[in-house]
Each structure stands twice: as structure tokens, then as C-alpha cells.
């Protein structure tokens, strides 16, 4: 990248300051710079350059000292929370935050897992890449059943922006024609294996309202011209994505939106810049820029812009809003509603079930497909809700055949045992839940009254717990999964519910703490992700959500961001902002 791309001190007033460089920050930078606006992207972490800074990519597992397992003492002292993430190990830990250096607190009797990736590109380097549109039913749910405030937008408002984003990102999948899961713009889907194909058919016969499809993923199964022009290449199904992918085969800021923004010549980046607060002009009722603290030497500096887009992640953006205080705004900026930090949501993954699937002894699979099967929410309207809880859940899963990895934990010794490791075992099929969480005022994140981090910024303090509704949903999900597994022919079926041990944050889908809404008295943002209080302040990450739905949220983050940029750019050109 160009030497003058990265800056430290500057008195330039930018057209737009974008805080954060993950999936939303990258999109905001791309869209504004391509429209001719001068943009400063602020990132609290280090620079990570595409291809150059993926030190463990393609490094075989046996070359690590402990085969990617991290020393238990190091894990306990520095990565106790981060190590709960599915993607965390010795080959990927450099893309995760250090718990010791990034403290936060929780209310007594509660817990929260805050997974962080503070580097250029953020968690776009480590996300799981499942990509689904929210449906018309999702945007209408709050209004229909009375839980949460009504979304100020509907599916039709995002539809063209979903298409716009999907064509650029590259989403593999099928046109499934499902009302609760709108189709996307697709690249060819990854293939179901033979047991999954059989399970799909058996599910259709036993549960016709519960379609099983291949998971839709942000992977280039067959790159189109627009992807090749980005310098990206076909996915090789290595399934080592969280190490970084020099092929650019999965979507990340580094492989896609950042190069596009850099190409315009309109982008500058301020790395290692921890945003302390927003600079606010009370007389003009505008934010003028941001105050930052150098991540390394703790010096302070200020950056100025005509518009600020907060894309720092749900919790990062909320911390900035709450810490931006003034005499007239003692509870934080853009918070006359008093709801900033409240209505925190996360998806509920706390039920799973699995069983042995007899047959297919002559079948195996090649490659490491970067997605699994998916069963969309089949309780997507009030008429379909169960009697003892509201909303519903989606299911992920797959069919896999046990191999030497599982045999390593089996009983045995000697030549016969070694010989058994050369042969595959039985097929197994499993489901896991992705349940909707209701927006509730008492699920909250706030600033701690006395504790600060090493930059002197108040730590976040969490008070969250699963409600009786979420617990009833997971109990029901476990039972339904058992029934479905038996219907597709599984034996030795077992289920598990774990909401006591997997708290809020464990799905890494934090949402809702600066929500959109029609009424400024009960929401932070309007239908364009624009602050009700301050016209030149936008928040386009997960903080803006009114409800969680059941689908993975990143694709919707992107669509909301490009829609907000389009609106903001037009308003700026008309000098209304």
C-alpha cells in the first residue's frame, strides 16, 4: 500500500471520518471514496496488510509446537475469553484481542464473552462468513407481536442494497425460494455430501415446513469478473480462513473493500488510534471529529471531519457514544432517548443435538467445505410461534465421518489400534441452534463508574442474562432436533442445552445498543442510521438493530452501511448536512 496512506498528526478536515475498519467500516470507506469524498478511516489496532501479514497461512498443524494448542497458563492469563471462540488457536490468536490488556466487567451473577479483533480489518479476518438476508417477517416481527420497537424500515428498503453488496462480496448458495429466507445474488453453491442429500430428502418428507439447504457463505466458489478485478481468486476449500487468505477467496476488508477505497486516492488511515470520544460543537449541534489516544505511547490527538460514521462494532460504537459527554449531554452524545447501551442482543446458540447415521460406508468427501447445512427459522410469524415462547430459531449443522482425529481420543493400544486409525469410522449428523433473542431494556452495557482501561477510557460494564423466553426456546429446540435426527435415520441421538455455561456474547453477534426507530424518544437513530439528535452522526454497525432475527447479521450490516452512505452523500451534496 502507498506510504502516504497511513497518517498520524494532521490538521486536515476530512469530508468523512469512519471509525472502524471491519465489514461496515470498509464498506463506508469504499462507498464514500468512490463518490469522491476525502475519507479518514480510524483503526484502534495495528496495520494488517493483505497477504503480507498472514504469518501462519498454509502452515501445517504439525509444525506448531503443540499442534496449534495454546499453553494452558497463557490461555488462562491472557486469552480466557478469546479462547472460547471457535476460530481461536495458536495459528490465529494474533488476530484476537488480549483479555489482560482489554479488561471489562460484568454485573455480579452475570457473565459476558466479548470477543475482539483490534487490527486493520477487524473481525472481517476471522468471521464465519455465513451470509443471509433478513426477511420481510423479521422487519415486521416487533410491530406484530409487540416485543421491541418497530423497525423504521422494511425489507423492500434494503432489497436493492442487499443485491448491490452481494454482487461485490460473492455469496455462494442456491435460489431456494423460501419466504422466510429471501434469495441472494449467488455464485454456485457448495455441494451437500451424500448423507446430507439423503437427510434433506428425509427431512422434506417428515417435516415439509423445515427445508434443509446448503449454507450461504461469502466464499468465491466461482469468481465473477467483478471479483477477479478485485484481485481475488477461487476458494480452495482449505477451511483455514481465520489464518487469513491470500487468495481473497472469502470476503474481508483487506481483500475487497479496502483496496477499492485505496485505489481512489481519497483514503487515509490512522491506525493505532483508540477513539476516546467525539468532538461536539454545541452551538452548531454537529460532531466536528474525534479525540483519539495513541495505542502505543498514549499521546492524544484529534481528527476532524464534516461527517462521522461509527462503524466500530456494536460495543465499540456504544462505548464511544457513552463516553462522549458534555454539560448538556451527561449521559453521552445522541442519547436524549436514554436508550443507548440498552436492548443488547446476541444470538442464542445454546442447544445442539447429534447422532450416528448408519450407512454410506463406501462414501467419503474431499476438501474442507467452508459451510454446512442450514435449516431456516420455521417459526417466523406469530401464527407459527410455539405456545410457551415467542419467535424462533434456525439450525446449522452437517454430516461428517469420524476419522483419526476422533480415534486419537478412543481407547486402544498397539498395532490393532494404529490400524484402526487408518480407516474412517461412522457417519454422524448434528444440529446446533441459532435462536432469536428478544430486545429487552435490562440487557445493558454501560460505562463502569470507576474502572478504566490503559488508555484512561471507562471500561464497559455488562448486565445481561438469558430470559425465560430464550431458555424455553432452547429446551424446545433440543427436543425438536432429537425428533428431526431420528426422522432422518440417526441412532444414539443425544441433545444438550448449555445456556448456563454459554452467556451473552458467545455467538459474537452483539446487536441493538443504539437502535433505529421512528420515535426519537425511544431510539437513537432514524431509518437512515442517522442520529435523531445530531444530523452529521451515523451508526451503521450492529448497534442499530431493533431485533436480532435468527440469521447471521454481517450481510445486513453491509447493506445498511451502503444505504446510509448513499443517503448521506446525497444530503451532503445538497448541503443539508
User: How far is Cα 320 from Cα 324, in angstroms, rounded to an integer?
Assistant: 6
In this prediction, residue 499 carries a pLDDT of: 87
Q: Is the pLDDT of residue 521 over 80?
A: yes
Residue with cell 450407512: 359
Residue 365 or residue 10, greater confidence: 10
Residue partners of 236: CB distance under 8 A and separation at least 6: 247, 249, 367
Q: Is the pLDDT of residue 407 over 90?
A: no
In this prediction, residue 403 carries a pLDDT of: 77
Helix (H) or strand (E) holding 172: strand 171-172
| Structure-block grid coordinates of residue 132 | 443471509
Count Cβ atoms below 10 Å from residue 401 Cβ, excluding itself.
18
Region 133-141: mean pLDDT is 98
Closest alpha carbon to 30 in 323, 253, 360: 253
φ, ψ of residue 329 in degrees (nearest 5): -135, 65
In this prediction, residue 421 carries a pLDDT of: 78
In this prediction, residue 216 carries a pLDDT of: 98
Q: Tell me how far the alpha carbon of residue 411 is from its chain's centroid.
A: 39
Domains and CATH numbers, the chain: 1-153+251-348+452-461+509-577 (3.50.50.60)
Task: Measure CA of the first residue to CA of the last residue in the chain; give whole Å.
Answer: 32
Q: What is the pLDDT of residues 332-350, one digit of tens each?
A: 999 999 999 999 999 999 9
Q: What is the pLDDT of residues 216-245, one digit of tens each?
A: 999 999 999 999 999 999 999 998 999 999
The answer to whether 428 and 403 are in contact (CB under 8 A) is no
Q: Is the pLDDT of residue 511 over 90?
A: yes
Q: What is the pLDDT of residues 246-274, one digit of tens each?
A: 999 999 999 999 999 999 999 999 999 99
In this prediction, residue 364 carries a pLDDT of: 83
Region 9-27: mean pLDDT is 97
Q: Is the pLDDT of residue 406 over 70?
A: no
Region 351-374: mean pLDDT is 93
Q: What does DSSP assign to residue 404?
A: H
3-state secondary structure of 57: coil
Q: Is the pLDDT of residue 163 over 70?
A: yes
CA distances to 15, 32, 36, 380, 391 from 572, in Å:
9, 11, 12, 39, 40
What is the DSSP secondary-structure string of 358-395? Answer: ---TT----S--S--EEE--S--SGGGS-TTS-S-EEE
Dihedral angle sign, alpha carbons of residues 140, 141, 146, 147: negative
Q: Is the pLDDT of residue 1 over 60?
A: no
Could you tell me whether strands 39-42 and 13-19 are parallel, antiparallel, or unpaired per DSSP bridges? parallel
| Structure-block grid coordinates of residue 366 | 474431499
The answer to whether 539 and 356 are in contact (CB under 8 A) is no
366 confidence band (pLDDT: 50, 70, 90)? confident
Q: What is the pLDDT of residues 150-160, one digit of tens each?
A: 999 999 999 99
The answer to whether 197 and 203 are in contact (CB under 8 A) is no
91 confidence band (pLDDT: 50, 70, 90)? very high
Length of the chain: 577
The answer to whether 402 and 370 are in contact (CB under 8 A) is no
User: How far is Cα 343 from Cα 443, in angstroms, rounded to an integer?
Assistant: 5
Q: What is the pLDDT of residues 174-193, one digit of tens each?
A: 999 999 999 999 999 999 99
Q: What does DSSP assign to residue 63?
A: G
Region 506-530: mean pLDDT is 98
CA distances to 6, 19, 27, 107, 167 from 23, in Å:
19, 12, 6, 30, 15
Q: Tell me how far the alpha carbon of residue 366 is from its chain's centroid.
A: 28
In this prediction, residue 394 carries a pLDDT of: 98
In this prediction, residue 87 carries a pLDDT of: 95
Q: What is the pLDDT of residues 527-566, one digit of tens each?
A: 999 999 999 999 999 999 999 999 999 999 999 999 999 9
Q: What is the pLDDT of residues 311-322, one digit of tens each?
A: 999 999 999 999
Q: What is the pLDDT of residues 25-65, one digit of tens each?
A: 999 999 999 999 999 999 999 999 999 999 999 999 999 99
The answer to whether 291 and 248 are in contact (CB under 8 A) is no
Helix (H) or strand (E) holding 98: none
pTM higher than 0.95 for the full model?
yes
| Structure-block grid coordinates of residue 528 | 437512515
Q: Is the pLDDT of residue 429 over 90?
A: yes
Amino acid at each position: 500500500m502507498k506510504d502516504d496512506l497511513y497518517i498520524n498528526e494532521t490538521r486536515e478536515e476530512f469530508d468523512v471520518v469512519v471509525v472502524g475498519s471491519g465489514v461496515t467500516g470498509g464498506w463506508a470507506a469504499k462507498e464514500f471514496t468512490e463518490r469522491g469524498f476525502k475519507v479518514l478511516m480510524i483503526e484502534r489496532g495495528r496495520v494488517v496488510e493483505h497477504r503480507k501479514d498472514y504469518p501462519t497461512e498454509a502452515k501445517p498443524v504439525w509444525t506448531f509446537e503443540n499442534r496449534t494448542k495454546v499453553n494452558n497458563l497463557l490461555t488462562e492469563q491472557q486469552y480466557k475469553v478469546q479462547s472460547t471462540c471457535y476460530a481461536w488457536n495458536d495459528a490465529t490468536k494474533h488476530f484476537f484481542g488480549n483479555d489482560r490488556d482489554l479488561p471489562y466487567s460484568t454485573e455480579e451473577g452475570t457473565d459476558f464473552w466479548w470477543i475482539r479483533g483490534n487490527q486493520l480489518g477487524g473481525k472481517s479476518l476471522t468471521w464465519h462468513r455465513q451470509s443471509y438476508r433478513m426477511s420481510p417477517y423479521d422487519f415486521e416481527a416487533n410491530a406484530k407481536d409487540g416485543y421491541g420497537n418497530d423497525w423504521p424500515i422494511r425489507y423492500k428498503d434494503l432489497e436493492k442494497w442487499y443485491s448491490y453488496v452481494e454482487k461485490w462480496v460473492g455469496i455462494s448458495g442456491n435460489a431456494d425460494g423460501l419466504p422466510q429466507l429471501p434469495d441472494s445474488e449467488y455464485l454456485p453453491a457448495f455441494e451437500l455430501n451424500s448423507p446430507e442429500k439423503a437427510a434433506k430428502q428425509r427431512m422434506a418428507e417428515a417435516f415439509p415446513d423445515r427445508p434443509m439447504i446448503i449454507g450461504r457463505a461469502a466464499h468465491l466458489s466461482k469468481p465473477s469478473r467483478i471479483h477477479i478485478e478485485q484481485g481475488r481468486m477461487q476458494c480452495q476449500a482449505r477451511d483455514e480462513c481465520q489464518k487469513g487468505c491470500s487468495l481473497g477467496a472469502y470476503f474481508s476488508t483487506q481483500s475487497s473493500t479496502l483496496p477499492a477505497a485505496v485505489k481512489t486516492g481519497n483514503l487515509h488511515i490512522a491506525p493505532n488510534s483508540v477513539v476516546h470520544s467525539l468532538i461536539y460543537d454545541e452551538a452548531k449541534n454537529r460532531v466536528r471529529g474525534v479525540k483519539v489516544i495513541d495505542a502505543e505511547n498514549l499521546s492524544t490527538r484529534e481528527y476532524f471531519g464534516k461527517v462521522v460514521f461509527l462503524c466500530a462494532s456494536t460495543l465499540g460504537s456504544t462505548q464511544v457514544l457513552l463516553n462522549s459527554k458534555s454539560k448538556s449531554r451527561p449521559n453521552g452524545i445522541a442519547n436524549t432517548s436514554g436508550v443507548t447501551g440498552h436492548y443488547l442482543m446476541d444470538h442464542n446458540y445454546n442447544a445442539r443435538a447429534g447422532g450416528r447415521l448408519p450407512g454410506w460406508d463406501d462414501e467419503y468427501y474431499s476438501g474442507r467445505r467452508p459451510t454446512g447445512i442450514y435449516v431456516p427459522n420455521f417459526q417466523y410469524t406469530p401464527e407459527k410461534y410455539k405456545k410457551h415462547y415467542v419467535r424462533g430459531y434456525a439450525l446449522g449443522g452437517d454430516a461428517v465421518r469420524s476419522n483419526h482425529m476422533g480415534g486419537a481420543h478412543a481407547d486402544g493400544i498397539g498395532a490393532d489400534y494404529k490400524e484402526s486409525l487408518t480407516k474412517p469410522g461412522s457417519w454422524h449428523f448434528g444440529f446446533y441452534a441459532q435462536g432469536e433473542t428478544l430486545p429487552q431494556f435490562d440487557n445493558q452495557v454501560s460505562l463502569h463508574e470507576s474502572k478504566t482501561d490503559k488508555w484512561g477510557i471507562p471500561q464497559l460494564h455488562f448486565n445481561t442474562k438469558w430470559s425465560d423466553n430464550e431458555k424455553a426456546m432452547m429446551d424446545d429446540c433440543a427436543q425438536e432436533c432429537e425428533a428431526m435426527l431420528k426422522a432422518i435415520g440417526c441412532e444414539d441421538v443425544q441433545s444438550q442445552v448449555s445456556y448456563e455455561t454459554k452467556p451473552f456474547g458467545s455467538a459474537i453477534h452483539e446487536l441493538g445498543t443504539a437502535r433505529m426507530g421512528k420515535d426519537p424518544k425511544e431510539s437513537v437513530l432514524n431509518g437512515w442510521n442517522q442520529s435523531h439528535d445530531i444530523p452529521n452522526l451515523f451508526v451503521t454497525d450492529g448497534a442499530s438493530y431493533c431485533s436480532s432475527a435468527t440469521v447471521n447479521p454481517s450481510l445486513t450490516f453491509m447493506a445498511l452501511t451502503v444505504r446510509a452512505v448513499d443517503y448521506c452523500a446525497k444530503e451532503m451534496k445538497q448541503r443539508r448536512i
